Structure 1
């Protein structure tokens, strides 16, 4: 899946570092946790995942390709007006539950779906993934207030806590810590884990819901650019547009060859 992210990081680029931070999380959720697959996308009893951190969609595309939701050939049309494969999720791509891109909106959408499922007497899992910088949006916290007030325990908010907001460290811009107590103060049951450790992911998600009367929150500590040492934990590797030669170098690095030191002056990075 990380290969797909790297290959999408050229000819216009994508949010490479941000997508790599949640790669393990998305693979775990779709492969081992959620009851959602290409054959039940129209079944209202399936589970739901909302990628509120929409610029991580290359990780979602890569997961969909590997699990049969999406034809790999469509990735070659990234940013083409002939397809819907671009920088943010689009419902015309099978498996995408809702458009996102304007941050902070999908916790409320996921809350509405979770409440609807509960009113129907269904036990769907409803999971929404946010970025940590996205938590600066007040709508995230408004949704949690409502979820807590109505005891919506089938809603889980997952934070991709890679410690960067765009090209700035979160704690240098608008500090978020202590983060878990903030969620607890808004009426949530909270756990914090290593978002790259599959054993910890399994332990946390298999324990849902954490409370019978509260929404659940899982803070996943992650590393921007995970899997590529040359770009890991770098503020300037949020969005990248690599040359085709640099993509091939990164793919070799991904597979364990000597890490490369890509020169920033050769890249179109923002």
Structure 2
């Protein structure tokens, strides 16, 4: 689970962007594709991996709290991502557009003698927010195969940081009102996000395959053990019934017959009443 502290930097930088979706009463959010970023604006969503074609079992990966950014799943891996909104959850759908010309971040200053000096570019609040928000969701994908039932809460110190070079992300309002709700992104940064998510999803494919194979093996072993118990109970029961009718039944015979019947009943999932005294 990821937790966003009060005054979250992601919400400060991106909270006014995108199209809001109030998910009250909804139990599923399809995440479209990698041309969309989903911002958890309030509440939380549970994230699941689901077979992209068969839509079978939902494998729980973790929980995304407010301030998380999730890229819509890229096609290709066997499993895709589906979100299940929790109570009072609101998400923003942020469309991604190509940033045709990254901003010029090169700056110069002058020393005390008037000589020009190059000043390295610094990361803007928007770029930092993108790296942090996406990193929170990537951390869920990264840690799911290694997590146990009582996995520790993921903090911002544990996020899967992505590289967002200075000048590679801009607000859509730079292109006009029609793009104001969207985010402009350098194609290389977008491709890096897609590639990272693709690698993590293929890792999840292998993990889920192993989990399902282990479950099938345990189920098969349980069925085999149940059949062995039934067979032994049947033999015990037949041996008890096949005793000579001329021989007077004793308390030991009755106990043996009841024990055999109890074995058969237990294998069939039936509770057998105690014998009359």
**Normalised-by-shorter TM-score class:** under 0.3
Bigger CA radius of gyration: 2
Q: Which has the higher contact order (CA 8 A, sep 6+)?
A: 1
Higher strand share: 2
TM-score normalised according to structure 2 size:
0.23
